[in-house]
Amino acid sequence: MKSLEELRAIREKMKRQMDLRGPNEDHIRVVVGMATCGIAAGARPVMAAFLDEVEKRGLKNVTVSQTGCIGVCRLEPIVEVFVPGEEKVTYVKMKPDMVPAIVEQHLVNHNVVTDYTIGAAE
């Protein structure tokens, strides 16, 4: 850190990311499995990619959070998307480069990316 302005910029970025993690029942919820199995499979970069993509697009109706074990360790990293009034969608074997497609197609345009879902992985 070289200046007070740099510190303020970091503070603002972290504040925006924390706002993305807060609960709101009207929001679309993106939940990343962050138990030991998920972290070992690469869930941290996936979570970071969701936070970055949602912030970059300025999506105010999306909350990104983490949970423990989702229960299907062989399919980690797992991300569940909860859209109010719709069935939960489970994305599996997630990689950070898959995140922009899910954000654009599912979170923005309301089209599930079936190639990445649990049904496609079986």
Percent of the chain residues topping a pLDDT of 90? 66
Residue 80 above 70 pLDDT? yes
For the segment 74-95, the average pLDDT, to the nearest whole number, is 94
Written in H, E and C, the secondary structure of 1-57 is CCCHHHHHHHHHHHHHHHHHHCCCCCCEEEEEECCHHHHHHCHHHHHHHHHHHHHHH
Q: Domain extents for the chain?
A: 4-121
Residue 13 above 60 pLDDT? yes
pLDDT in tens, 42-73: 999 999 999 999 999 999 899 999 999 988 99
Residue 85 above 60 pLDDT? yes
pLDDT score recorded for residue 17: 64
CATH topology of domain 4-121: Glutaredoxin (3.40.30)
pLDDT score recorded for residue 104: 96
The answer to whether the bond into 77 is cis (omega within 30° of 0) is yes
pLDDT score recorded for residue 103: 97
pLDDT in tens, 27-46: 899 999 999 999 999 999 99
